[in-house]
Structure 1
Amino acid sequence: MKKFLKLVVIVPLLLVGCKDKGSNEVEVIESEDDSIENETLVIEMDVGYEALAESIDYYLTDQNFNGAALVSTGDKIIFTKGYGLANLEQEIPVETNTKFQIASVSKSFVAVSVLQLMEDGLIELDQTIDKYFPTMPNANRITIHHLLTHTSGLYSSNDYGYGGRYSTENTVDDLLEDAYRENNLYFEEPGVSAIYSNLGYDVLGAIIEQVSGMTYEEYVRVNIFKPTGMKDTLLNVDGLVFENFAVAYNGNIEEGYRARIFHPSYGYASGGVHSTVEDLYRYDRALANNELISEESYELMTQQYTRVGNKPYGYGWYTNLWIEDTISHPGNLVGWHSMMLRHNEDKVTVILLTNHDESDMNMAYTIARLVLANVE
């Protein structure tokens, strides 16, 4: 035990090494879906990891974390807890079933959807996208693989900044139209360099719609959320307010102000999903057990194809970033920040969701190292 406590003391130091007010009344809608499958997956902490859980709790408290956290090894939950406030004005605490917008963690759902359609023989990774977007520049040279790896050359200088129709319902056509009209849409040579592109993943969402004959929201609900039991996860394209939904704040949660509200359709496929740490753990279990895609497709998704911002990238995930044999992805939108990290051999999963701008999501890597040092 003394050896373990020594590790706890140095945990805050590890982070340095890994770093590279008013409200409106609205109708609150219950989001639970009685048709959701796999609700037998119980979310509760395993009693065999009390000391490790205490260390994680100490670390997150020391870092002034405000949000929800879940840490697991295999099918055992080491730790899960809510910290701070989901709603400052109403003094509503964060719980483990509090909903957050997960921003770019949403991209992994796009990758899984594409690989599902590939397995069904409906899409090929090396096919060009001119079939779906015949008038887009370079569409006859941009492939599905390029879009998944951010190497399409397609990006917008206004990628989810403050411009565009951020507060109203949008379609991919709207986003493309804004990009063209504002002269902010740029193209580089496909396959040459990696440029992080939210718009590229929105284009993938539109392709999924054309191939499947469903809206993207319907596709992920039917093919990912429902079969994995993610009853509190949704792509909120209508901009509704649901129960247990956190409020996003700029700056410190206690001194900050409500963040600018982005209509969820503005994030669309690339960043519009709302979820909980509990549901993302259900998603993690489905990935581990090949319930959504085959083992071969999982390997395709998690291998490195390029470097985005000098960080290794696969399909919808960063790969082996700072910790070998892991996949991870952060999500960042004004007031919303998230991180999901999983070890490919199922040794550790870390999920962090927050509703203010002052939590460092790289804490997930520190927690993962702590778990890897203390579990077999």
Structure 2
Amino acid sequence: MQRLFLLCFIILFSVRSNAQELNRKIDSLIQSEFKEPNGPGGVFLIAKKGKPIYEKAFGMGNLELDSKLNTGSVFQIGSMTKQFTAIAILMLEEQGKLKVDYPISKYIPSYPNGDKITIHHLLTHTSGIRDFTKMKTLQDIAQKEMTPQQMVDFFKNEPADFAPGEKFEYNNSGYVVLGYIIELASGEKYEDLIKKNIFDKAGMANSYYASDRKIIKNRAFGYHKKSSGYVNKTIINFSVPFSSGSLMSTLDDMLKWQNALNQNLLLSPKEEAKAFTKYKLNNGQEIEYGYGWHLKNINGTPTREHGGSIFGFKSMAVYIPSEDIYVLGFSNCDCNSPTQLVKDMGKMVLEDLKTK
């Protein structure tokens, strides 16, 4: 009995020591990038099998009020919004309200070449339409309240970059069009549909369609870094990025999102699988993108990834399906990107698993 107790104690001690060592390595990795405890910072999470195994905050959430970030801080997630837009499209397909192979002319008859561009092309960034973030005239509307139709009208007559399906080129305009199609097909506002059908169902009580006017408790404030020091982020009206980049969330809510996907809480397995399928161009070349996710790998282990960048904020998440590991990072200064950090954290966790 004594030997059994001793053996259990040794195993438990070894597991705890390994976990502590991994935590120390991750702390050191993050602090090598987020070096200023009194500057804007970041929050990070690692979850395994749906439960957090690492969750920490570094730096300040509001420089003017001298308040620190915490693991419940609410961040703008930028282009990680595209995951929610893609799943919303698939939810409408499952309800019979649209099909991903429908041409966009079915919903927006006046869209140039709209009979050749499909919802699938928009989802996979293969439509060829001009990305509005690259247009010089963007500054003219950046702070205006725009309807989805006005946003689509802003870029729809720009010359196409290539024929639909000819190549993959990351494109925010496509996801704005998707948001407009969501509203036309459902009869609901995009933000209302996302809240009712995703946030509420997944229990994401601290996730929002972004606003600079609403009182949002525990909000992280965004910053830029200039030669003179930090400044408050540039103001943008969130109706401009719309369904391509206007959501806000927390570490724990994004874990609820990932768990909801894993548990098929929002979609049937067959429909959801479309989001995580690698698709092909017209010439048969496979692209590393599904619907709302980059489909890549860490040393040969498949991953589902996406980041985000919007004035004052950057975000990144990597999910490793084979191990049910989710790694996530948010930054409240666009001077600090969590992208490589999150990938390196995922790599560390995979290497740690191999040593056990």
- Which segment is superposed worse, 237-246 or 141-150? 237-246
Change (3 A) 1:150 1:239: farther
Give SS of 1:153's match.
coil
TM-score by length of 1: 0.80
2:201 is aligned with 1:224: no
Give SS of 2:105's match.
coil
Q: Determine if contact 1:152/1:191 at 8 Å carries over to the other structure.
A: yes
Give SS of 2:266's match.
coil
2:50 is aligned with 1:75: yes
- Which segment is superposed worse, 186-195 or 85-94? 186-195
- Which segment is superposed worse, 268-277 or 294-303? 294-303
Residue 288 of structure 2 corresponds to: 312
2:326 is aligned with 1:349: yes
2:174 is aligned with 1:200: yes
Q: Determine if contact 1:159/1:197 at 8 Å carries over to the other structure.
A: no
1:267 is aligned with what amino acid?
P
Q: Determine if contact 2:130/2:155 at 8 Å carries over to the other structure.
A: no
- Aligned mate of 1:143, from 118, 122, 129: 118
Shift of 1:194: 1.8
In structure 2, stretches of 5+ residues that fail to align are 1-15, 36-40
Shift of 1:157: 5.2
CA distance in 2, matches of 1:86, 1:194: 36
TM-score by length of 2: 0.85
- Structure 1, residues 15-67: CA drift from partner, whole Å, max 9, x if none? xxxxxxxxxxxxxxxxxxxxxxxxxxxxxxx9993332232122111221611
2:31 is aligned with 1:61: yes
- Which segment is superposed worse, 48-57 or 288-297? 48-57
Q: Determine if contact 2:279/2:287 at 8 Å carries over to the other structure.
A: no
Residue 221 of structure 2 corresponds to: 247
Give SS of 1:188's match.
coil
Give SS of 2:272's match.
helix
CA distance in 1, matches of 2:148, 2:31: 40
2:252 is aligned with 1:290: no
CA distance in 2, matches of 1:342, 1:209: 29
In structure 1, stretches of 5+ residues that fail to align are 1-45
Change (3 A) 1:364 1:149: same
Residue 22 of structure 2 corresponds to: 52
Shift of 1:239: 4.5
Residue 305 of structure 2 corresponds to: 328
| Greater radius of gyration (CA) | 2
- Structure 1, residues 58-94: CA drift from partner, whole Å, max 9, x if none? 2111221611111111122111111101111111111
Give SS of 2:99's match.
coil
CA distance in 2, matches of 1:330, 1:96: 19
Change (3 A) 1:364 1:238: closer
CA distance in 2, matches of 1:311, 1:261: 34
Change (3 A) 1:61 1:238: closer
- Which segment is superposed worse, 313-322 or 128-137? 313-322
Change (3 A) 1:363 1:125: same
Residue 144 of structure 2 corresponds to: 168
Q: Determine if contact 1:156/1:186 at 8 Å carries over to the other structure.
A: no
CA distance in 1, matches of 2:227, 2:320: 31
Change (3 A) 1:76 1:50: farther
Shift of 1:241: 4.0
Shift of 1:147: 0.5
- Which segment is superposed worse, 194-203 or 60-69? 60-69
CA distance in 2, matches of 1:229, 1:47: 34
- Which segment is superposed worse, 199-208 or 338-347? 338-347
- Which segment is superposed worse, 59-68 or 140-149? 59-68
Change (3 A) 1:247 1:215: same
Shift of 1:253: 12
Give SS of 2:102's match.
coil
- Which segment is superposed worse, 221-230 or 152-161? 152-161
CA distance in 1, matches of 2:140, 2:51: 43
Give SS of 1:328's match.
strand
Greater share of helix:
2
Q: What does residue range 270-289 of structure 1 map to in structure 2 within 5 Å?
A: 270-289=244-263
CA distance in 1, matches of 2:199, 2:57: 22
User: What is the RMSD computed on CA atoms of the aligned residues?
Assistant: 2.5
Residue 342 of structure 2 corresponds to: 364
1:290 is aligned with what amino acid?
N
- Structure 1, residues 85-142: CA drift from partner, whole Å, max 9, x if none? 1111111111111111100000000111111112222211111111111001011111
Q: What does residue range 107-186 of structure 1 map to in structure 2 within 5 Å?
A: 107-156=82-131, 158-159=133-134, 163-179=139-155, 184=158, 186=160
CA distance in 2, matches of 1:111, 1:51: 38
Q: Determine if contact 1:149/1:314 at 8 Å carries over to the other structure.
A: yes
CA distance in 2, matches of 1:130, 1:344: 36
Q: Determine if contact 1:302/1:315 at 8 Å carries over to the other structure.
A: yes
Q: Determine if contact 1:53/1:79 at 8 Å carries over to the other structure.
A: yes
Change (3 A) 1:244 1:300: same
1:369 is aligned with what amino acid?
K
2:141 is aligned with what amino acid?
R
Shift of 1:318: 0.3
CA distance in 2, matches of 1:237, 1:223: 20
2:319 is aligned with what amino acid?
R
- Which segment is superposed worse, 336-345 or 294-303? 294-303
